[in-house]
Amino acid sequence: MSDQLMGSGAASGDGDDRHYTEFLASVRTRFEAATKATKATKATNENGKPPPLFTTATTELFDVFLDALPASYQQQNTCASCRSFFERYGGLVTVDDAGKVASALWGATQSLGVYDAAVRALAEHTTRAPITGVFVTSEPVWGKPTTGDWKHLAVTPASELVFPTGRLRRASEIAAERREDYRLLRAGLEEFPLKLVKKAAALLSTGGLYRSEKCISVANWLLGLHQRRQAVGSAAARDNVVWLAVATAPPGFCHVRSSMIGTLLEDLAEQLPFDVVKAKFDAKMHPLQYQRPTAAPGKQNIERAEKIVAELRSAGALERRFATLADLQPLWVPSSAPRSNEKQGVFSHLKAKLKPTEMELDVPAQVMTWEKFSKRVVPNAARIEYRVPSATCAYLGLVTAKNPEAPPIIQWDSPDKRNPVTWYVYVNGSPPARWNLKPNTHHEVSAITLSPAMWGGDGKHRHHGNLVIFVLEGAKDLKYESGAGFFPEFLKSDYREIRKTLEAYTKAAVVHGKGGEQASGIALQEGASWGHVFRVTDKGGVAQTYKLDRWD
């Protein structure tokens, strides 16, 4: 078939050529509007990203286009390049929260002359077809804009819609994975109905299950999906809502049956006593079991790990060092302490020192949640001290990439928004002496920060749980010997298949900088009961004691 100009006007005059030019422009305009970065929705929870695109079961779209044109225009609009565009991209659609589909390409806001009927026919044909998959491609330009002097249908997508080349998996493999995600998610929705998921989410939110924060996000996500499907009328719209969930879900969320939430749902479906449900859940969520391989890596897994690390150029990123205050994004620092990004001048050392406590209120400790403490007390605090208990507690250490230029390997780290900081804790807690802390004394708080997975506030990694960290002055892990300072569950999904090898690596690796400054402190995890005591001196010099008992 010839590769001639569609609607060139060679046979019909300049007016028809203008209509064709307007037709091409309308397709580009429609595409830009359809893929414009949007605000977060109930389904996506992501700001500033184009909506995902979906393929549909459309066939012979090019014939639909030609048949809707006047007979005298069909021959001059027959073009191999544009036929290819119709076949590869013509059926793309977007989906909103209610499951309504819209064509990503067809829909004009102005008259296009002889092309009006064709655009309407294409839009109708596309939006009536069922969705067949999530569209994934590595092509930076969709279509062939020109061949010689001839112009053709083509659009240039936003970079977020282009799957990077040079990755471990091809775009076609990712698309196949999304189809499998859809199958598994549909099966999970059918096996575990709304009422059961609602019960699981409520149970997880009570904090009565060990490390429930690891599952509460997927439970709420699944519950929200059930509710959105229930709110729409047609079966087709419900299917579309599932496809949208598949395209925007965090890694692993669609695999309901094989995940911990699936285990909990199964036990609830069997109507097991709560004590039995709790015992089974707690055992599987133990830090030494959850997402941890139980066998040593084999030769094949090690070889695969070497290949993956080499292809992703991430060998240097596995080297870690202890983080310092300068690596953190603090919510609060003492009044006399400069923030990590605060520029220091020649006379900075002459600034007023921390105002001493002028008055301490002789009243019982005020019991408060973290949410209330962070809003009412922290903003006016000049100094915060932690009362170190004698018991073992959830002290943690923060680590980061030794080489700041190393590629991102952590889920919340990205090339345009670097954040390679992770943390480690000891199972069942650790005594204060291990962290250079003296029991039954007040210890200065150097900074308050949230879990590194929460920095940025976009909520994308909430499945790692909410955590606030009080960094303590001089605290450091005195008995540290080995361990990479991160859990394999923190890594990007590219590394999931080599968890056995990475588990062995993290056990043997040594974090650099043990003898230097370490950003370490006490961790307060949502879902647990705390009872930690802090003495806060406000900016007026008045001190008062607070006991933080829970997150909210």
Please state the three-class secondary structure of 415-477 as a single string. Answer: CCECCCCEEEECCCCECHHHHCCCCCCEEEEEEEEECHHHCCCCCCCHHHCCEEEEEECCCCC
Closest CA to 229 of 192, 200, 203, 255: 192
User: What letter does residue 233 receive in the DSSP assignment?
Assistant: -
Per-residue pLDDT, 330? 97
Our measurement of the distance from residue 24's CA atom to the centroid of its chain's CA atoms, rounded to an integer in Å, reads: 36
The domain limits of the chain are 14-161, 176-290, 317-342+352-548
Q: Provide the β-strand partners of residue 187.
A: none
Angle CA 337–456–206, to nearest 5: 100
pLDDT tens track for 79-136: 999 999 999 999 999 999 999 999 999 987 778 889 999 999 999 999 999 999 999 9
> What SS3 state is found at 49?
strand
144-179 burial: b if 16+ Cβ within 10 Å, else e: bbeeeebbbbbbebeeebbbeeeeeeebeeebebbe
In the predicted model, residues of the chain with pLDDT beneath 50 are: 1-15, 45, 288-293, 338-342, 346-354
* Lookup: tokens for 78: 């027959």
Q: Provide the β-strand partners of residue 444.
A: 385
> What SS3 state is found at 41?
coil
* Lookup: tokens for 533: 């005591």
* Lookup: tokens for 247: 């395209």
Per-residue pLDDT, 192? 96
* Spatial distance between the Cα atoms of 322 and 476, rounded to a whole number of angstroms: 10
Q: Provide the β-strand partners of residue 442.
A: 387
* Spatial distance between the Cα atoms of 422 and 418, rounded to a whole number of angstroms: 12
Closest CA to 397 of 461, 471, 320, 334: 471
User: What letter does residue 75 receive in the DSSP assignment?
Assistant: T
* Spatial distance between the Cα atoms of 56 and 103, rounded to a whole number of angstroms: 10
Per-residue pLDDT, 44? 55
Helices (H), 35-115: 61-67, 71-74, 80-89
